[in-house]
Chain A
Amino acid sequence: MGDFFWIFASAAVINNFTLSYFLGLCPFFGVSKKIDTAFRLGLANIFVLLITSVCAWFLNNYILPHADYLRLMTFIVVIASSVQFVEMAIKKLSPALFRALGLFLPLITTNCAILGLALFQTNRGYTFLQGIVYALGAGVGLTLALVLMAGVREESELSEVPDVLQGAAMSFLIAGILSMAFMGFAGLFSGT
């Protein structure tokens, strides 16, 4: 169990996908104006990451040993289409959940965090369960970063910001400070 805990903690906070691997930056800067939207995007992300992890494990174990060099192309095509299928299934089975995840689902598929997860999982040779825990941790980490960022930006709407700082520049500075804060979690690993 300790193993699973470390995989989860490492993916969620210590090596946070957004703040220390710089994956999934587009939604991080694009969709982080309101806490509510940021949170729903985070949920959709967790969802897609879990599907990705399962797909990647399946491909790695049954298909790709025969054609290693096709890995990238297979990952992209299979992940994109399975997300589409699951999206259709959810639309039918649970319209409420579908509305909550909304149009984020197709967008997320081309997010670098998704492909990044599939590749990291492959490089580290995780088993099926480890992969799922890793995906869950990565998703929670992304959600955490998104919600924190949205919270700071909601507050900064109310304060006076110098002209040149407005927009992207300030988002980057905020992200830099958040990233510094997350570096503090690295101490968690010192014992192992």
Chain B
Amino acid sequence: MDAQDKLYTETMKGFWRENPVFVQLLGLCPALAVTNSAINGLAMGGATAFVLLGSSILVSLFRNLIPKQVRITSFIIIIATFVTVADLSLQALLPAVHKELGAFIALIVVNCLILGRQEAFASRNRFPYAVGDAVGMAVGFTFALVLVGGIREVLGNGSLFGFSLFGESFEPWVIMILPPGGFLTLGVLLIIFAQVKKSRDKRSALEAGKEAA
């Protein structure tokens, strides 16, 4: 596989095949805690993307300088630095969003997705691949957050990105924007994905059987 192809696969895998939330079940705390509306999901996804990209670049560049024994601690400190930057910048630039997300911006530090990517990928691969991997994972994560947030907002508030969809007569399903709605939405999404995967596997098994025959 040449370099271009490898870069492409490393980037694309995060979108769907190894989607951090739906497939790897990583980074669930923010994925559920702040996704009571699509816009919050987008903001959280953006902040996480910034931290993930920043730390992947730094870890990948310094991967030969960081001693193996203290690598986890070093990763955490690098991540914490970027989170502090994101936290303070959001507070200054978008105070409304910062207020809405509250302590969960700071909690990006302990998002297992970010530390997991540093340990499993960025510390072992060259700079361009680490960037590709980080971009893919970040986009996949943001997509998952916006999807969950969008579903919860439409059902629980009758709006999407703050625009009302159904008019006055809509009776909101309030439970969806409260905590239980997060668990239920993600549970139902996982069921749908499992069903899609099952039927696709069955179809490809059938086709393989036909070719063999």
Query: A residues within 8 Å of B by Cβ?
Result: 19-26, 29, 69-73, 76-77, 80, 110-112, 114-116, 119-120, 123, 163-165, 168-173, 175-177, 179-180, 183
Contacts and interface: CB of A to CB of B under 8 A. Distances in A.
Given A72-B83, A76-B76, A115-B109, A164 B180 contact: no
Nearest to A123: B103
- Main DSSP-derived SS at the A contact region: helix
Contacts of B195: 164
Interface in B1-31: 25, 28-29
Q: Which of the listed residues A21, A72, A183 has the most CB atoms from chain B within 10 Å of its own CB?
A: A72
Interface residues of B, number: 39
Contact of A22 (B33, B87, B190): B33
Contact of B179 (A111, A114, A120, A183): A183
A105 B79 CA distance: 22
A18 to B, nearest CB: 10
A78 to B, nearest CB: 12
Interface in B125-145: none
Interface of B: 25, 28-29, 32-33, 73, 76-77, 80-81, 83-84, 87-88, 102-103, 106-107, 109-112, 115, 175, 178-184, 186-188, 190-191, 194-195, 198
B88 A173 contact: no
A22 B103 contact: no
28 contacts: A21-B179, A22-B29, A22-B33, A22-B179, A23-B107, A25-B29, A26-B28, A29-B28, A69-B88, A73-B80, A73-B84, A76-B80, A80-B73, A110-B115, A112-B107, A112-B110, A112-B111, A115-B107, A116-B103, A164-B191, A165-B191, A168-B25, A169-B191, A172-B190, A175-B183, A175-B187, A180-B175, A183-B179
A72 B84 contact: yes
Contact of B180 (A70, A77, A171, A176): A176
A22 B32 contact: yes
A50 to B, nearest CB: 19
A172 B181 CA distance: 10
A25 B178 contact: no
Nearest to B184: A176
A111 B180 CA distance: 21
Contacts of B106: 72, 115, 119
A172 to B, nearest CB: 3
Nearest to B87: A72
A25 B109 contact: no
Contact of A170 (B28, B88, B115, B187): B187
A21 to B, nearest CB: 6
Contacts of A171: 187
